[in-house]
A and B are shown apart, each in its own frame.
Chain A
Amino acid sequence: MFGAVVKLEWRNVRRERSLWVIIGTFAAAVLFAAIGSRQFVGAERVVSVSAASAEALRFAELRDDAHAIAADAQLRDQNANPTKPLSVGQELLPRVVRLPLAPLAPLAVGQRDILPQALTLTTRARLANATEGDTASPARRASGPFDLSFVLVFLLPLVIIATSFDLLSAERERGTLALVLSQPVSLRTFVLGKASLRAGLLAVVTVALVVAGALIAGARLAEPGAGVALLLAIGLLLAYSSFWFALSLAVNAWGRSSPANALALVGAWLALAMVVPGLASVAVDTVHPPPSRVELVNTTREAAREASGRTIAIEGDHGKPQSDDATARRAIAAQADLERQVEPVLSSFRERHAAQQALVDKLRFASPALLLHEGLSDVAGSGAVRHQHFLVQVDAFHAELKAFFHERAEVGRHLDADDYAAMPRFAYAEPAPVGVASRVFGAAFALLAMTAALLAVAFAGLRRYFSRGLR
């Protein structure tokens, strides 16, 4: 009988114009998001390539100059001596370290437009993240991007609601329910058959749209790990869809009118997609107030003031001769001193971030929308966890950089071509995919559990459907 119901519903669905209008609108939204992402991700790629080539150019210039000096040539600029380790490390060769875009980056902007993706490093103390500034339109950051993740987290549930809110109530209101049930079919089979067809149809459409959208947006599916990531995203997405279908079934089984169903479902959507995340974010801010950058700036400046009267004094003296080895050693010692003093502040900063993130990981289970949003960000490599991983590597690289230049400065060595060849380079190492997978699996499992619970409620409601005098 189930098969017959599905077939009947397919005939209905094919003629339901509004359903195809909704699916068409959804497809248009996916396309719009994909085109937008393509543009922005493309721009990000251009920036990263141009920054890398500018750095490479600068590097080659300095190396050649160092070589020329070794051959007793005239120095171009007396203040920019490319053989002096400390001036190269501190001034002449700032290194741009970048968190590369993950293959599925176009899927979700996540925290990528907020957290610095590229940092400028020198051998000086790394007190705050030195970025290139924030000209990226703050309005776009504030309103949030129109990416695939937005379409899937917010609009997909509305599509599901719009195509299923009157699944049963419309049959009753049109009087066709009594007609159908005069056939040898149970209410449960009938409802399940109808819902399965619609859910299946939407699942096929959604998966096709997401894959097409990701490709249009410039996802690089051939890169290692991309296939698995895409599968994870699709799995999570299907679990998310099933949650909203189950919710719609449960509301339909309640037996109210179609407008009442619509209001109840939109209300639930509003609560789960907007209000609960808002309250969760208030909760995180209240329990673990965000650490204050302003305070950090002042604390580090205070420490710097105490430790570095010596180093600062060197800075503004135009025309003074550059430091010799002794002053280099003094400057290195002063910096180490400063870093020691600031370390407690920085580490408490990191601890607060970790505590916040731990709470977010728990609170995301309060709303399916949060589960999907976080999951898609993780899969797209735009989440907070991957960024944290990046910062840890940046710290390690900074230490490596300092060690390289300071060692050479302390013994008064002049940099030559060999030193330039041996200079440390930054290469981001992706975290093991197990972390992302386990987070996504946790989310999908939770969504399926919620789905099961809602289906149980729905079946209970259906069992009592007629005892409430509904026909």
Chain B
Amino acid sequence: MADAPASRAASGSRGVLKSLVQKELREVTRDGRFWIVALVIGALLMVSLAFGLRQSAALRAEREAAQSTADHHFLEQDEKNPHVAAHYGTYVFKPSGALPFIDPGVDPFVGASIKLQAHQRNAPEGVGAEDATSLARVGRLSVAAVLQLLLPLLVIGLGFSAWTAERERGTLRLLATSGTPMTTLFGGKLLGLGAALALLLAPAVALGALVMVASGSGSAPVGRLSALLVSYGAYFVMFLALTLWVSARSASSRSALVALLGVWVLTALVLPRALTEVAAAVSPLPAPNEISRAIRASLAEGLPGGPKREERIGAISDEMLEREGFKGAETLMDAALLGGIELQAEAQFENEVLDFHHRQLGDAIARQESFMAWLSLSAPPVAMQAISSGLAGTDGAHHRHFSEAAERHRRSLIAMLNREFAERAGDDAWSYKAGRETWERAPRFAYAQPPLAQVALQQKASLLVLGGWLLVTLVLAARAARRVEVV
């Protein structure tokens, strides 16, 4: 009995909220400008979606074809000594994931193929951007760019006068006298404007989903897609709350607009570039020619502070001989077996050197990235960029994941060919030639993107930043609503 009025009040306020949401929605959708902007942004989304899909389909087809050609070349090579085949090597191509059409990330700026061969770890080559024009740098039109840059502006355009216009028109006073709590009013505005935004995005999302289903990419990564949807949703709500907060605190629509545009220019345009520069300056990466010189030096001399090259190779090959049970019987072994083991010992030494230098480089890059992630505390679009390209599988971490997988594959391929030489060459030694039957037994390169959980772990700082901003802006906007000046 006692809670009847309360529940009536609750259902009443629910009714009020509902009509408030409807009112906001109606107000927005009656405005001709909303439809023009919606149309323009909708069209841009469609163009970038279509363009992205076309690009990524072409890319995928190209890389699949290239991979099968490369495999074919490896299988069809002439008969030759297995170690000569290791020099001949093969290529692996980065399989393009299912989602680059949403966010190309750093993909156009990193190499897509790696030549695998004995004695060296080659850098990825074939950087797409080298063959694109300078226009691509000024305006990179992608679904992600539209969502990260333009949508926040639309949100600002929708909401900058949400409170100030009510006050300027005098309707806020009317609403206040009706006894509607300001927080309910805030809820109405948030939900109403959010609904307008959802209305605008729905066609693009539906079309995107339709295309993904129709294109039959059966392995559509549902987890990654839904994570993308949720994080972009959080990003838009965050901007909406920010806009409502500024609107509630501003003296006039004009000053609210100026402040919000300033925030947009700073966080979406200036800081993404400025923070990258700061991160690059604070944690500089060694120049490519310095790295290759250091690697060459270590390969010739041995690792800095470690044993000399020949000593280390000797130690490794002793170890291997011992493991195989040949220790002390070298003079009795056939030349090829000994040669094969020595080749593999050399390869293992090279791997140690490569691991050492690449680990140093990887650490520097990781430092830079984590620094960047924390800097993004000052600019949510930067955090969103990281999350988006991470989920789309096109960020730096995914590139390194691929390049590591390729290197692991190189090592197993070279080890297998050296073993072939050791075990089969016999008295023929260097004139021994292996054929197709050997090439067929070589390991195949199979690459899979890291699981979603690992991506989430990599992006934890950015996710925390985005979540923190969402929470703080919502709280600030609700508090500002309670204190909004009615007159």
Interface residues of A (CB under 8 A from B): 29, 32, 36, 39, 43, 46-47, 50-51, 54, 110-111, 114-116, 118, 128-129, 131-146, 150, 153-155, 158, 258-259, 262-263, 266, 270, 273-282, 284-286, 289-295, 297-298, 301-302, 305, 309, 312-313, 315-320, 353, 356-357, 359-360, 363-364, 369-370, 373-374, 377, 383-384
Contacts and interface: CB of A to CB of B under 8 A. Distances in A.
B141 A263 contact: no
A204 to B, nearest CB: 24
Given A137-B368, A139-B276, A316-B86, A293 B131 contact: yes
B44 A134 contact: no
Interface stretch (B208-216, B288-296, B318-326, B444-452): B288-296
A291 B128 CA distance: 9
B110 A138 contact: yes
Given A143-B276, A259-B257, A317-B430, A282 B47 contact: yes
Interface of B: 44, 47-48, 51, 55, 58, 62-63, 66, 69-70, 73, 77-78, 80-81, 83-88, 91, 93, 105-106, 108-113, 118, 122-141, 145, 149-150, 153, 157, 253-254, 257-258, 261, 265, 269-270, 272-274, 276-277, 279-281, 284-293, 361, 365, 368-369, 372, 385, 396, 399, 430
Contact of B141 (A132, A282, A373): A282
A76 B288 CA distance: 29
Nearest to B286: A135
B369 A363 contact: no
B135 A363 contact: yes
11 contacts: A46-B287, A114-B129, A134-B123, A155-B270, A259-B253, A259-B254, A282-B51, A312-B87, A316-B85, A317-B81, A374-B134
Contacts, number: 245
A116 B288 CA distance: 12
A318 B87 CA distance: 11
Contacts of A302: 69, 73
Nearest to B93: A294
Contact of B106 (A47, A133, A139, A305): A139
A271 B15 CA distance: 41
A309 B80 CA distance: 10
B66 A295 contact: yes
A114 B261 contact: no
For the complex of A and B, 8 pairs with smallest distance between CB atoms: A277-B139, A133-B123, A278-B141, A278-B139, A316-B87, A316-B84, A293-B126, A281-B135
A304 to B, nearest CB: 10
Contacts of A293: 112-113, 125-128, 130-131
Contact of B276 (A137, A291, A317, A353): A137
A318 B418 CA distance: 13
B109 A144 contact: no
A301 B74 CA distance: 11
Contacts of A154: 269
B135 A284 contact: yes
Q: Which residue, of A50, A54, A294, A374, has the highest number of chain B Cβ atoms within 10 A?
A: A294
A278 B145 contact: yes
A373 B140 contact: no
A294 B91 CA distance: 10
B277 A140 contact: yes
Given A270-B153, A278-B140, A293-B128, A39 B274 contact: no
A277 B62 contact: no
A294 B81 contact: no
A142 B132 CA distance: 13
Contacts of A285: 51, 55, 132, 136
- Point out which of B69, B85, B109, B369 has the most chain A C-beta atoms below 10 A from its C-beta: B109
Contact of B277 (A145, A282, A297): A145
Contacts of A266: 153, 261
The CB with the most chain A CB atoms within 10 A, among B127, B133, B399, is that of B133
Contacts of A384: 133-134
Given A142-B109, A369-B138, 20 more contacts: A116-B130, A132-B289, A133-B292, A139-B276, A143-B276, A284-B135, A285-B55, A285-B136, A292-B62, A292-B131, A293-B113, A294-B93, A295-B66, A297-B91, A298-B66, A313-B84, A315-B84, A316-B88, A370-B138, A377-B134
A138 B109 contact: yes
B123 A144 contact: no
A264 to B, nearest CB: 10
A313 B84 CA distance: 7
B288 A133 contact: yes
A370 B137 CA distance: 10
Nearest to B137: A144
Contact of B135 (A29, A150, A316, A360): A360
B277 to A, nearest CB: 5
Contacts of B257: 259, 262-263
Contact of A143 (B83, B258, B272, B288): B272
Contacts of A320: 430
Contacts of B136: 281, 285
B287 A297 contact: no
A377 B112 CA distance: 27
A135 B285 contact: yes
Contacts of B153: 266, 270
A353 B311 CA distance: 51
A318 B126 CA distance: 30
A266 B269 CA distance: 13
Contacts of B273: 143-146, 150
B316 to A, nearest CB: 18
Contact of A158 (B112, B135, B157, B265): B265
Contacts of A111: 134, 137
B135 A280 contact: yes
B22 to A, nearest CB: 26
B401 to A, nearest CB: 14
Given A134-B111, A140-B277, A294-B66, A373 B134 contact: yes
B405 to A, nearest CB: 18
A138 B292 CA distance: 18
Contacts of A116: 130
Given A43-B287, A294-B62, A353-B131, A138 B106 contact: yes
A154 B265 CA distance: 10
Given A36-B277, A294-B66, A298-B66, A139 B110 contact: no
A163 to B, nearest CB: 12
B290 to A, nearest CB: 8
A340 to B, nearest CB: 20
A134 B270 contact: no
Nearest to A43: B287
Nearest to B119: A316
B396 to A, nearest CB: 6
Nearest to A298: B69
Given A298-B69, A298-B70, A47 B289 contact: yes
B298 to A, nearest CB: 16
A155 B261 CA distance: 13
B21 to A, nearest CB: 25
Contacts of A144: 137, 273
Most buried by A among B55, B129, B153: B129
A60 B277 CA distance: 39
Nearest to A280: B135
Nearest to B141: A278
A32 B291 CA distance: 29
Contacts of A369: 138
B440 to A, nearest CB: 18
A457 B323 CA distance: 87
Which one of B80, B125, B139, B276 has the highest number of Cβ atoms from chain A below 10 Å of its Cβ?
B139
A242 to B, nearest CB: 21
A36 B281 contact: yes
Contacts of B270: 29, 146, 155
B396 A139 contact: yes
A131 B132 CA distance: 18
Contacts of A263: 157, 257
A67 to B, nearest CB: 23
